[in-house]
Each structure stands twice: as structure tokens, then as C-alpha cells.
Structure 1
Amino acid sequence: MDERTETIVGLGAAVVLVVAGTLATGYLPSEPRSQLLAGGIIVAGFALGFLVLGEFELPD
């Protein structure tokens, strides 16, 4: 895959994670464990988006 395709796929996956986490806050029970899971999904989506855009680098 070329770099442009990888960026589009990565940003698409990040959007899916953020939307899924946001929807999960409404569908999951209001227990702390469930809400932490939904929040973790949202944070993972933002982290993936920043990683794909090159805002930070992972150590080798």
C-alpha cells in the first residue's frame, strides 16, 4: 500500500473507533467498568488518528 492509502485507512479506522465508543456510552450500562471501556475505545481512536497523521512517533 502506498502512504496515501495507509493514511486514509488509518483515519477511517480512527473515526470508526471514536464513533463506536461514543455510541457505546449510550448503549452500555452506566456502570463504571462499561463507561471506562467506552472511553478507552474513544481514546484509542484519537491515539490512532494522531499516530496516522504523524503527530507523534512510536519508539523503535
Structure 2
Amino acid sequence: MDERTRTAVGLGGAALLVVAGTLATGYLPSQPRSQLLAGALIVAGFALGFFVLGEFELPE
């Protein structure tokens, strides 16, 4: 898989996580555990997007 394909798939996955987390805030019950799950999806989406764009790197 080349760099452009990896970036496109990564950003697509990040967008999917952010959208899923946003929609989950409306569909899940308004209990703290459910809203934390939805928030975690959104944060994971942004983290994946920043990682794919090369804003930060994981230590080896």
C-alpha cells in the first residue's frame, strides 16, 4: 500500500470515528458511561487523523 492510499484510508477511518461518535451522542442513553463512550470515539477519531497526518509519532 503506498503512502497516498494509506493516508486516504486513515483519514477516512478518522472521519468515520468522529461521525460515529457524534451520532452516538444522540442515539445512546444520556448516562455518563454511554456519553463517555461516544466522547472516546470522537477523541480516537481526532487522534487517528493527527497520527495519519504525521503531527505526532508513537515512540518505538
TM-score range, shorter chain: over 0.9
Distance in 2 of aligned mates of 1:7 and 1:55: 13
Deviation digits for residues 29-52 of structure 1 (CA, Å, limit 9, x no counterpart) = 000000000000000000000000
Using the size of structure 2 for normalisation, the TM-score is 1.00
**Structure 2 residue matching 1:41: 3-state secondary structure:** helix
Q: CA deviation at 1:18?
A: 0.0
Where does structure 1 differ by over 2 angstroms across 4 or more consecutive aligned residues?
none
Show the 5 A alignment for 1:1-60.
1-60=1-60
Distance in 2 of aligned mates of 1:15 and 1:57: 20
Using the size of structure 1 for normalisation, the TM-score is 1.00
CA RMSD of aligned residues (A): 0.2
Distance in 2 of aligned mates of 1:12 and 1:43: 15
How many residue pairs get aligned? The number is 60
Gaps of 5+ in 1: none
